[in-house]
């Protein structure tokens, strides 16, 4: 039970980070994000937190929710942190555009199941 409570908190952190990214993107075109260093690095930091929170979810939770690509999310966090000078900015934009909407819907679903 304690771990389930921790999972809920981690899912809430992930959702908060996704919402922060949407707030940071705002009305900007995604290509404009690359020109705004503060905004871009704020988004990248949120991706790191999403990866860390995903890594801290219990194995049972991740295994029972295999439709979410947890390994990819955690790997991206590791790549950003350890390969920071190799991060492809266009890949970050692709994650925002293609992956975050799906992740947000999944996390919201998981939280509704817990509550």
Query: Looking at the annotation, which residues are catalytic?
Result: 77, 82
CA distance 64 to 103: 16
From residue 61, alpha-carbon distances to 65, 80, 93, 112 in Å are 6, 24, 28, 14
Phi, psi of 97 (to 5 degrees): -75, -45
Q: What is the C-alpha separation between 88 and 104, in angstroms, rounded?
A: 22
Q: Where are the alpha helices (DSSP H) in 34-99?
A: 37-56, 59-64, 70-82, 89-94
């Amino acid at each position: 039970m304690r771990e389930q409570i921790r999972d809920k908190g981690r899912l809430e952190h992930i959702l908060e980070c996704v919402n922060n990214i949407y707030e940071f993107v705002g009305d900007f075109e995604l290509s404009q994000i690359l020109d705004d260093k503060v905004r871009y690095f704020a988004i990248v930091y949120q991706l790191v937190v999403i990866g860390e929170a995903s890594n801290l979810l219990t194995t049972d939770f991740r295994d029972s929710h295999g439709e979410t690509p947890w390994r990819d999310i955690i790997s991206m966090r590791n790549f950003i942190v350890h390969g920071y000078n190799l991060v492809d900015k266009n890949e970050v934009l692709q994650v925002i555009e293609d992956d975050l909407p799906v992740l947000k819907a999944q996390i919201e679903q998981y939280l509704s199941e817990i509550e």
